[in-house]
Structure 1
């Protein structure tokens, strides 16, 4: 793996660790700043809203700037944001620092993907995306648990301090290793960038991300009660099973990138089919602790195996404004997470907690249908030879 990818991956790891770790230190934050747990919980909501709304806006406004100076500036803000979080004297300062950091997250990831893919060898786009996404996998497997451990033993402020140091290390590696890639539209405007969303192929690519991931996100939202109340695990086992899930996600991420480089849409449809089957199987065996533990690994692997291909398809269909499209795609993922929590709650209030697996499988099938339609459009376009509507094969 090149130093460039290691640098970008470390930055992604630091940023996303800062996003995920708040759940583990939330009670400590509430106690120290003398706010209620629900008020502290708004830090999570504000971060999500910042990514959903602010990410695409900031990305559109900065799309014409050269990418390396842009991501360096973004990482400087991330470091300052985490230091401000660590030193926040009152809740309002922490809230603002979290929102500012959230605004940066989607824009940085979108630019990092475009930089990495634009300099990747031909035919290696999806596997390159998977290497960047591995930084996110690591934040789930190591970043959040270690951040929680640091917070529990040295105080929650130490957690944000360590994250700031990790982000600073990533920044220092970016400076010598990442090439300077031109912006998508030098001298252009944000309005011109938005025209990419007129494309039906771009719309479908983003819709696939939102719909096809919702089932997995539904299960992940209710991960703890599904394992404790349905499968009979002790509450203390959930942290270990989260690591198992994260290891599966990392394996699936790399496998999915490798497959997507070779057959993008066929592999996406097949992997989503396996994910739907895996969710159904998990429902069937959820009463057994051993079988449920095994399925935690496989559901994590199958769920994350589709992400590199989805990101690559967005890049391929939005070659005129890839950075903005990736940022909007990240927002679609966050919207899917919010809807997944709401829909899962309805299922729990109705058929019951175990039925979340069935609902997740059904939503995943919808993702398969949208993917099949997008694949059909690709084949029809290729058969007609129409250059106006053909899906681009290179995101550079």
Structure 2
């Protein structure tokens, strides 16, 4: 990659973050529009049992997550050797088409299928964009590079998701998704114009990338992320009925609740990136404890407006802070399989998305109420922490095939890519 001025570097990073903004909007907008989606696509069930219809509409969220789980390792393994700018452009086009298809699909089943297709580029985009951002920012700043790309996703929860949710509530959820497709079209143009040419790894092969899955520490890191974000999405997927049915607010209050949660995610992402650069595993342990505390606060105080807003802010902040720490940890323990390590984190997080949405919907459908998903999230923290402990333990063993100074190795790979 050629040397860039600071201004050009910032513009390139902003173009990468714009993709994250679009992804955050397309991924999370369904949370605030589940009642509208259920009312439109499942009218008979909604008329008979609104709670069951909303719980079933949660499949739309799970479908996108399934697309991410499938697409991230597949695309990353096959495409690691290709130039990053061209690959990012293709992925942005795929997002545009998949999101437009989600808006235009005529039935519940076809919308679910379109959401699976729309999710396929998600993990690969974040993985490749994180490597490109790390290349732009330089050695020793991988956590902050990951956080910068993810900042688009967290800012989406402050601006994009509430605005698109409001549009969907006023003009219909289909128009909301068409608006998101427009964001991806703008992302495509921004990447093409602002991101410098960057080679892939010519030595990368599918076999080398997939070798990451032979490392136990990789699996434990993935499990940690999936379980942690499973707890987050158990709450986030049902923010709308939590605010209206438990706190007793009007439907128009939901966008404000989403803005507060998004502000928490934005703040937490910045903190998490810096904590990850100081030490990924210590950051994971500290942040899981904070996340559990935030969930407990929300569970105990969500019946009041101040309690709901404070709880959502802290849940968003602590959950978002975990993500750069987990991704940095994966890059530390994956050896030469950097592309797939950077991408597959998003498979794990979206497996957590699917798990959280499913379990949250299950407890609601069982009649346990709209506060029950918060307790599900708290329960998922326990196996999440155990997975983190196990991952830490296997890399403490001297014979583990992860090299002693993995963070330095990751920086060496980034430096080699720049040369």
Q: TM-score range by the shorter chain?
A: 0.7 to 0.9
Instruction: Tell me the residue number matched to 2:5.
Output: none
- 1:196 pairs with 2:212: yes
The 8 Å contact of residues 317 and 391 in structure 1, kept in 2 or not, is answered as no
Gap change, CA 1:182 and 1:90, over 3 Å in 2: same
Q: TM-score, normalised by structure 2?
A: 0.80
Of residues 13, 26, 29 in structure 2, which corresponds to 1:21? 29
Q: In the alignment, does 2:133 pair up with 1:116?
A: yes
Residue of structure 2 in register with 1:291 after alignment = 307
Higher mean Cα deviation, 229-238 or 126-135? 229-238
Aligned equivalents of 1:199, 1:248: Cα separation in 2:
33
How far residue 54 of structure 1 moved from its aligned partner, in angstroms, is: 3.0
**1:210 Cα shift?**
1.1
Question: Is 2:227 the partner of 1:217?
Answer: no
* 1:200-244 C-alpha deviation (Å, 9 max, x unpaired): 121121111112222222222333344444444444423211111
Contact 2:58/2:361 (<8 A) preserved:
no
Alpha-carbon contact 2:20-2:153 (below 8 Å) kept: yes
Give the deviation of 1:307 after TM superposition: 1.1
Shift in alpha-carbon separation, 1:63–1:28, aligned structure 2, 3 A:
same
1:122 alignment partner, SS class: coil
Asked if 1:148 corresponds to 2:162, the answer is no
Answer yes or no: is 1:2 the counterpart of 2:10.
Answer: yes
Among 72, 84, 92, the residue aligned to 1:75: 92
Q: State the distance in 2 between where 1:253 and 1:174 align.
A: 23
Q: 1:329 aligned to 2:345?
A: yes
Which residue of structure 2 aligns with residue 363 of structure 1? 380
The more displaced of 135-144 and 21-30 is: 21-30
Q: 1:358 to 1:160 in 2, by over 3 A?
A: closer
Correspondence 1:210-289 to 2 at 5 A? 210-289=226-305
Q: CA deviation at 1:254?
A: 0.7
Correspondent of 2:121 among 104, 109, 112: 104
Change in CA separation of 1:240 and 1:61 when aligned onto 2, cut-off 3 Å? same
Superposed, which structure 2 residues align to 1:43-192 within 5 Å? 43-83=60-100, 88=104, 90-91=106-107, 98-152=115-169, 158-184=175-201, 186=202, 188-192=204-208
The answer to whether the Cα contact below 8 Å between 2:92 and 2:188 also exists between their aligned partners in 1 is yes
> Would the aligned equivalents of 1:273 and 1:365 in 2 still touch at CA under 8 Å?
no
**CA gap 1:106/1:89 in 2 versus in 1, 3 angstroms:** closer
Mark the CA change 1:336 to 1:78 in structure 2 (over 3 Å): closer, same or farther: closer
Aligned pair in 2 of structure 1 residues 353, 385: CA closer, same or farther (>3 Å)?
A: same
Q: Which runs of 5+ in 2 are unaligned?
A: 1-8, 47-52, 415-419
Q: Normalising to structure 1: TM-score of the pair? A: 0.84
Contact 2:76 2:343 in 1 (8 A): yes
Q: CA deviation at 1:156?
A: 5.2
Aligned length: 391
Specify whether residues 321 and 301 from structure 1 end up closer, same or farther in structure 2 by C-alpha distance, changes over 3 A only: same
Distance in structure 1 (CA, Å) of the matches to 2:373 and 2:39: 33
> Retained in 2: the 8 A contact 1:272–1:364?
yes
